[in-house]
Amino acid sequence: MSEDNTRTTLYDLMLIRTETVDNINEITDFAYLIFIRQPGTKQSSYIIAQANIPLATLILIEHEASVGLFPNYQLQIRHIVNGEENLIYSTYTKFILPKNYNLNQQGSNSGTAPTVSVQFLLVNPIAWNMNTNNSFNFVFNKQKYIAMDIIEKYYVEEIKKKHSGNRPDLIKFQNFADNSTKNTTLYNQITIPSSITELQVPEYMIDAYKPYSTPSLWLFDTFNFGNYDNKSNNTKGEIPIWCIMLNFYNAIDTFKKYDISNDLDITQFTSRLKIIQYNDTLKEFIKPNAVVSFTDIANMTQKIELFGNLPFVSRVDNTYEKQPNRTTSLHIKYNDNLKEAERRIVDCVELMNKQINQIEIYETINTSPEWLQFGCLYNFDRDPKYGENLFEYVLTPITIFNIFRRKSQKDTQMEHMMKYAMLRFNSKSPSSGEWICDKSELSTPVGKCTYDECIHYRHHKRILHECPNDKDIHCPHNKFKNAECK
């Protein structure tokens, strides 16, 4: 971080053709360059960019694309510290011009070579090849495997062996999940449709064979700034491709915790832009308190189960009345076994209704690019009055955009910022619940206050909304008289 008043960290970007061609200049005059990492939405991370490209270079790129040639380019990012450049990132890419790319003929005439402003894509060469290769089937003659083990074998025996060459550290795998929720169904054969490419195999496996009891996300994190194992050699700016599996069930207990409280670059320059409520608007996750029909697709057998307790109806006087019968139903199709199908209902309802709170959109400016990573929990929450960190690790990223943008029109140096979507979980710490005041005899109504506005703010304490053991009793952990656990 520079020591000036703006506290702006600057970077130089360079895109170099790996094959030497006469009179072809490197690309250094970027307007922006954005790393897009969206597990579950895209199978692989990719880059969108706009730059002033030397005209001769652009003509060559257009010609090669027209005949189906996509040679490799090397993207280098250098961090500028006290006027000196330090290579922090280096990767190989394919340069892709969109079919209707934005050609701005005005461009600029900086230096000796005329340039044209062009929007384009950069994709990883390995991901590019995987997206052109057909998929394959798995047949095991000596041993049966569960779905998650087959996904790991696919990574080790197919992708890593086939695409990493003599660089075993080039492609790595990291699984962020509560492994106690693995699907235990055993298979001696997995069938992948011929229309599925190598890049799409993990997503297909997740959807068809459900390796965990709740939905998972997968990403070939081909463009990233962090090493998930903290062991990779990054002395030359080379960062490996990471195959990332994300499962959010019990994430608040299983994900790694990252403390931002002492990092001024994050705490001072982060702002929340938007909150997206996570609501069950279609009432899909209430239906398990109903008659559930399970259908085994393979054997075409059906079984009816009564799932959950009978529903309650709220009365005007704030009491509840249990209904004599069930009014909703749910039809579940499965291709593994009934036990796993039932567990998926229980765990999905738990995840969606009790663990996930909402989605929040954040922005951090003037920050280094490597600190925010998938599979980590972050403690953004602060005391609204005193600014103290609450040390509640309840936020994890589900989308990350690393944005390099031009500092000024006259300067090719770049600033870095991040925009990202975070999944907020319900806290399990004793601080979650409802605020009360020790001086409640002075508050109105007695026993409660509004927390932010209470003049006795420093005397606030939390009471739990739920009893720790989830028992339906008069909860001794709730200070209100006769309050029942929810």
Residue 122: strand pairing partners: 47, 95
Q: CA–CA separation, 229 vs 210, rounded Å?
A: 26
- Choosing from 91, 125, 159, the residue where a domain stops is 125
- Choosing from 125, 149, 172, the residue where a domain stops is 125
Residues 6 or more apart whose Cβ sits within 8 Å of residue 467: 473, 475, 477, 478, 485
Q: What's the domain count of the chain?
A: 2
Of 8, 2, 107, nearest to 406 by C-alpha is 8
CB-based contact 390:381 (threshold 8 Å): yes
Residue 51 domain flag: yes
CB-based contact 95:120 (threshold 8 Å): yes
- Choosing from 74, 108, 125, the residue where a domain stops is 125
Tell me, what's the pLDDT at 19? Answer: 81
Backbone angles phi, psi at 382, to 5 degrees: -130, 155
Residue 197 domain flag: no
Residue 296 domain flag: yes
Tell me, what's the pLDDT at 397? Answer: 97
Residues with pLDDT less than 70, the chain:
1-8, 23, 100-113, 230-237, 282, 327, 385-387, 429-486
Distance (Å) of CA 347 to CA 155, 217, 219, 280, 394: 27, 16, 23, 15, 19
CA 334 to chain centre: 27
Q: CA–CA separation, 16 vs 21, rounded Å?
A: 11
Of 193, 149, 170, 138, nearest to 243 by C-alpha is 170
Residue 185 domain flag: no
Residue 385 domain flag: no
Residue 47 domain flag: yes
Tell me, what's the pLDDT at 18? Answer: 86
Tell me, what's the pLDDT at 145? Answer: 93
Tell me, what's the pLDDT at 450? Answer: 52
Tell me, what's the pLDDT at 309? Answer: 74
Strands (E), 379-447: 395-408, 411-425, 434-437
Q: How many CA atoms lie within 13 A of 110 on its CB side?
A: 18
Residue 91 domain flag: yes
Residue 136 domain flag: no
Q: CA–CA separation, 326 vs 320, rounded Å?
A: 16
Tell me, what's the pLDDT at 437? Answer: 56
Strands (E), 320-455: 320-322, 329-334, 356-365, 376-378, 395-408, 411-425, 434-437
The structure tokens 């997995």 sit at 190
* Domain interval for residue 344: 270-365
Tell me, what's the pLDDT at 5? Answer: 37
